[in-house]
């Protein structure tokens, strides 16, 4: 980083230049660029990114050819940890040097949904899809004066970034930033789906479709709540052994059987599972998940982000007989209220995070992480920023 202009008032943060991995087009390798980053605006903070893990959602948005997603040039990355470098006007919650996690869905603590006690989806700082900041619909990054767009108003594949203070969570300075970045999205989302959304009960049978980080974290959550059978479904045979380490008791590869997967599950579970989780982002699979759960009380939780067809269809009779379908974003966690306690649970060895990290890579090798994720050869690649 280097100040590109000397601020007249030395206490005001200046524009800085830093390195960022910029995506110039859908599916094109990222290019390391010198970018300008503005000072934090009111109620924003500027963060020195410490580590950032690559999440499947980054890949989906980067690959997407859909016009609504084709926002370039853009800086991806949303699962990150960092240290506060400077604060904007009106920020009282953070100070320079605070350790933080970024979050892709914020918590303003004042809107109707934040105060409802019924939802973790903030009306003010919810998922940002247009590549800009929530407050003024503008970017904080630029190259030679031209805007570079954000992703989820986080953009952590950069040495420094600016986020709204409602999209960062202060964490204990004792927690290892290079590990806890995983709690910023995928691992927390899976645990929350099992605990907050489904409330998996002891002795129950759980089916998980899709054994990436989110699905395996659902497995971890279900195991910790005492589920007796955790059936993992994935077309990648390499997932079988890995999944057992996270609590999956049985593995089914739909490609190995000519029998429809929902029939296999009903047959081996005496009528259907108590809980099923769709962690793929395939709306067709949601119907399969619905058909796999038990008549009368079965619950399906969907937490994958659809990559292609967002509409879903299923016979209404599935629901008439007492089954429930629930959707969730970030596992129902309110980031500011709940993430610090998840970090504490990690520090107390009550939840597993390290096991999800299959690769540690320096920032300059970020394209390797994108290739590994695209080919299904990793769970989490943690990208470490230069120190």
Q: Which stretch binds Zn ion (CB under 5 A): 124-132, 142-150, 247-255, 261-269?
A: 124-132
Q: Which of 26, 111, 305, 318 binds Zn ion (CB under 5 A)?
A: 111
Does 181 engage in binding with Zn ion (CB under 5 A)? no
**C-beta separation of 36 from 75 below 8 A:** no
Pick between residue 55 and residue 169 the one whose CB is nearest to Zn ion: 55
Tell me how far, at minimum, the Cβ of 123 lies from Zn ion, in Å: 5
Q: Which stretch binds Zn ion (CB under 5 A): 114-122, 237-245, 261-269, 288-296?
A: 114-122
Does 32 engage in binding with Zn ion (CB under 5 A)? no
Rg of the Cα atoms in the chain: 21
Pick between residue 83 and residue 111 the one whose CB is nearest to Zn ion: 111
Tell me how far, at minimum, the Cβ of 205 lies from Zn ion, in Å: 28
Does 114 engage in binding with Zn ion (CB under 5 A)? yes
Can you read off the two tokens belonging to residue 212?
A: 């990436």
| Site map 54..83 versus Zn ion, x via CB under 5 A | -x-x--------------------------
Q: Which stretch binds Zn ion (CB under 5 A): 110-118, 192-200, 343-351, 378-386?
A: 110-118
Does 175 engage in binding with Zn ion (CB under 5 A)? no
3-state secondary structure the chain: CEECCCCCCCCCCCCEEEEEEEECCCCCCCEEEEEEECCCCCCEEEEEEEEEECCHHHHHHHHCCCCCCCCCCECCCCEEEEEEEEECCCCCCCCCCCEEEECCCCCCCCCHHHHHCCCCCCCCCCCCCCCCCCCCCCCCEEECCEEEECCCCCCCCECEEEEEHHHEEECCCCCCHHHHHHHHCHHHHHHHHHHHHCCCCCCCEEEEECCCHHHHHHHHHHHHCCCCEEEEECCCCCHHHHHHCCCCCEEECHHHCCCCHHHHHHHHCCCCECEEEECCCCHHHHHHHHHHECCCCCEEEECCCCCCCCCCCCCCHHHHCCCEEEECCHHHCCHHHHHHHHHHHHHCCCCCCHHHEEEEEEHHHHHHHHHHHHCCCCCEEEEECCC
Tell me how far, at minimum, the Cβ of 126 lies from Zn ion, in Å: 8
Tell me how far, at minimum, the Cβ of 91 lies from Zn ion, in Å: 17
Does 191 engage in binding with Zn ion (CB under 5 A)? no
Specify the pairing of strand 44-53 against strand 160-164.
Answer: antiparallel
Pick between residue 111 and residue 264 the one whose CB is nearest to Zn ion: 111
Q: Which stretch binds Zn ion (CB under 5 A): 108-116, 131-139, 248-256, 266-274?
A: 108-116
Pick between residue 80 and residue 122 the one whose CB is nearest to Zn ion: 122
Q: Which stretch binds Zn ion (CB under 5 A): 92-100, 138-146, 185-193, 374-382?
A: 185-193
Tell me which residue of 159, 153, 160 sits closest to 138, measured CA to CA. Answer: 153
Does 127 engage in binding with Zn ion (CB under 5 A)? no
Does 153 engage in binding with Zn ion (CB under 5 A)? no
Q: Which stretch binds Zn ion (CB under 5 A): 117-125, 329-337, 348-356, 370-378?
A: 117-125
Pick between residue 190 and residue 272 the one whose CB is nearest to Zn ion: 190
Does 108 engage in binding with Zn ion (CB under 5 A)? yes
Q: Which stretch binds Zn ion (CB under 5 A): 104-112, 207-215, 219-227, 334-342?
A: 104-112
Tell me how far, at minimum, the Cβ of 53 lies from Zn ion, in Å: 9
By CB under 5 A, name the binding residues for Zn ion. Answer: 55, 57, 108, 111, 114, 122, 124, 185
């Amino acid at each position: 980083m280097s100040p590109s202009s000397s601020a007249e008032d030395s206490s005001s943060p200046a524009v800085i230049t830093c390195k960022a991995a910029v995506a110039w087009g859908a599916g094109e390798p990222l290019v390391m660029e010198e970018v300008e980053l503005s000072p934090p605006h009111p109620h924003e903070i500027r963060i020195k990114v410490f580590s950032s893990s690559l999440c499947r959602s980054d890949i989906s948005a980067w690959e997407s050819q859909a016009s609504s997603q084709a926002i370039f040039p853009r800086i991806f990355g949303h699962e990150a940890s960092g240290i506060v470098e400077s604060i904007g006007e009106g920020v009282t919650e953070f100070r320079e040097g605070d350790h933080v996690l970024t979050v892709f869905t914020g918590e303003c603590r004042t809107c109707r949904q934040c105060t409802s006690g019924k939802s973790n989806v903030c009306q003010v700082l919810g998922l940002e899809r247009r590549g800009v900041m929530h407050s003024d619909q503008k970017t904080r990054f630029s190259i030679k004066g031209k805007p570079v767009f954000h992703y989820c108003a986080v953009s952590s594949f950069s040495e420094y970034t600016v986020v709204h203070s409602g999209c960062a969570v202060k964490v204990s300075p004792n927690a290892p930033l290079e590990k806890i970045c995983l709690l910023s999205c995928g691992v927390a989302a899976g645990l929350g789906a099992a605990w907050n959304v489904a409330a998996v009960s002891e002795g129950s049978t759980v089916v998980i479709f899709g054994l990436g980080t989110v699905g395996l974290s659902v497995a971890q959550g279900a195991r910790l709540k005492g589920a007796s059978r955790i059936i993992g479904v994935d077309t990648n045979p390499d997932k079988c052994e890995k999944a057992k380490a996270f609590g999956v008791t049985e593995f089914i590869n739909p490609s190995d059987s000519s029998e429809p997967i929902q029939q296999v599950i009903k047959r081996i579970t005496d009528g259907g599972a108590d809980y099923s989780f769709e962690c793929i982002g395939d709306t067709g699979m949601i119907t399969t998940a619905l058909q796999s759960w038990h008549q009368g009380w079965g619950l399906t939780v969907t937490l994958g982000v659809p990559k292609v067809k967002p509409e879903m269809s299923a016979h209404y009779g599935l629901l008439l007989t007492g089954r429930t379908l629930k959707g969730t974003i970030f596992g129902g966690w309110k980031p500011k209220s709940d993430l610090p306690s998840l970090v504490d649970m990690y520090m107390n060895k009550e939840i597993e995070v390290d096991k999800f990290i299959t690769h540690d890579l320096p920032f300059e090798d970020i394209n390797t992480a994108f290739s590994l994720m695209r080919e299904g050869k990793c769970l989490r690649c943690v990208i470490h920023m230069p120190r």
